[in-house]
Structure 1
Amino acid sequence: MASVQVRTESLPSPRWGFGAFLLVEAVLLTTAAFVSALLGSSSDGASIPTRHVLIGTITPTLVAVAVALLVTVVRGNGPVRDLSLQPRWDDVKTGLRFGALGLVITTLGVAVWTRFVGEDDAQSAIGALVADRPLSVYAALTVFFYLWLVGPICEEIIFRGLLWSAIERLQWKTMLWGRFAAFVISTAVFAVSHLEPLRTTLLLVIAIPIGLARLVTGRLLASIIAHQVNNFFPALAILLTALGVLQL
């Protein structure tokens, strides 16, 4: 009887780690500085053209996430495998649940934070940019969709994708401990990397449910959905403020 050989495909281990995350962060900061210098700056924030604000805010993140994805293609097995981006319906449902939890925690956190530090200091950097700046409908919608949908995808790929996977691949005693370490470290780095010192504690609180979605499922889609759900109402508030409908 002829024997049947079963071929099993084993993928090589990705050839990237913390260095890839540091590279992406360097690209983010360098691009932000370059775009700022290219577009020009002003000591009077109100005099900066709206399109410059949008380009300066969005472009560095898009460039950085493009580099992150490229790293997984050139030195790994692609973003789907390296960053655990496999699409699963259960991850969508889990992300929605943790996103809803995040909305409750964020609302309570902002209320407490505002009481102690004041409304201005609790406001995000991009929220402060548009608070006193009337925007066109096109510009306001661009900010809204970026904050709600695009920004969370980019941030999750960088922090709970690239950074998380680099931490998780370290030689931990157990896989569970590696995932927990990835949750703790990526949550802390996420909060600090926003470069908003007064809001770091608040950002830590906001990031916990998002990180838990990644921890529970082991995949990135759940944390992306949770992040998008968590950002929806703040993005909507900024949209209405930018259009002059709402006064914050």
Structure 2
Amino acid sequence: MTPPTTQVDSPPSHRWGFGAFVLAELVLILSAVFLSAAAGPVGVDEPIPPIVIVVVTALPTMLAAGVAVLATLLRGNGPVTDLRLRWSWPDVRAGLKLGLAGLVLTAIAGVIWARTVGKLDPSSALASVVDTQPLPLALGIVMFVYTWLIGPACEEMIYRGLLWGAIERLRWSRWAAFVLSTAIFAVSHLEPLRTSLLLVIAIPIGWARLVTGRLPASIVAHQINNFVPAVGILLMSLGIWR
């Protein structure tokens, strides 16, 4: 599939760079560690409280995205300009097409990954936890909405927004921004066994940012990619699918 090409805006002028991205990453990692520690130790056979699963999963990424927005407000032109958050229907359509193409690519890569690695499940760490410990319906719905809509938007603001903008500020090429943001996105999930699969997943998402020059296309592509695992988490929470 050949993605639609739209006019790419000139790089915005801002005073934030890699330092802002590093700060956002530190907030993500340290808040996850702090929240996990604050929840207290959990025994081997002791179930993790459902609310802890939701908070530790969702809050760090949302806080890191908040850092991205704050950086643009304090040292730039605001998130719409600096993170390229200006919405348009052509961008949305590009994100839908590339997201659907990414679903096919991800499905193929998932089969290859599972056969290569062996019996290990290619699903995310969150899905593995929910599989063994279903969430109550209300929290299951919260995690469905987060996994499908909120999480992808937050991650895109961090990686294809803040990180991409930091690379642009150095006057590196868009291809360098695409390659670096794709690689760092995959590694930053801290799931070594799934890094190669996450690289494949990230390619159509980053491509949406590359060809449109704006973030909404990659957000939509990411949300399309996350819809199937989000439904899986919801069905696990309902006890329908294991």
Alignment TM class, shorter chain as reference = over 0.9
Partner of 1:20: 20
Instruction: Compare 148-157 and 47-56 and name the one that shifted more.
Output: 47-56
**Equivalent in 171, 188, 203 of residue 183 of structure 2:** 188
Partner of 1:51: 51
Q: CA deviation at 1:131?
A: 0.7
Q: Which amino acid aligns with 1:164?
A: W
Q: Greater relative contact order: 1 or 2 (C-alpha under 8 angstroms, separation 6 or more)?
A: 2
Mapping 1:30-45, distance limit 5 Å: 30-44=30-44
Matched, 1:206 2:174: no
Structure 1 gaps, min length 5? 1-10, 173-177
1-structure distance, mates of 2:33, 2:223: 27
Structure 2 gaps, min length 5? 1-10
**Residues 171-211 of structure 1: CA distance to partner in whole angstroms, max 9, x if unpaired?**
34xxxxx1111000000000000000000000000000000
2-structure distance, mates of 1:80, 1:46: 45
Partner of 1:81: 81
Q: How high is the sequence identity, in percent, across the aligned residues? A: 56
Segments ≥4 residues shifted beyond 6 Å: none
1-structure distance, mates of 2:211, 2:45: 42
Q: Whose Rg is larger?
A: 1
Instruction: Compare 39-48 and 67-76 and name the one that shifted more.
Output: 39-48
Matched, 1:240 2:226: no
* TM-score, normalised relative to structure 1: 0.90
Q: Which amino acid aligns with 2:132?
A: D
Q: Which amino acid aligns with 1:59?
A: L
Partner of 2:224: 229
Q: Secondary structure at the match of 1:34?
A: helix
* TM-score, normalised relative to structure 2: 0.92
Tell me how many residue pairs correspond in the alignment.
232
Q: CA deviation at 1:121?
A: 4.0
**Residues 197-241 of structure 1: CA distance to partner in whole angstroms, max 9, x if unpaired?**
000000000000000000000000000000000110111112112
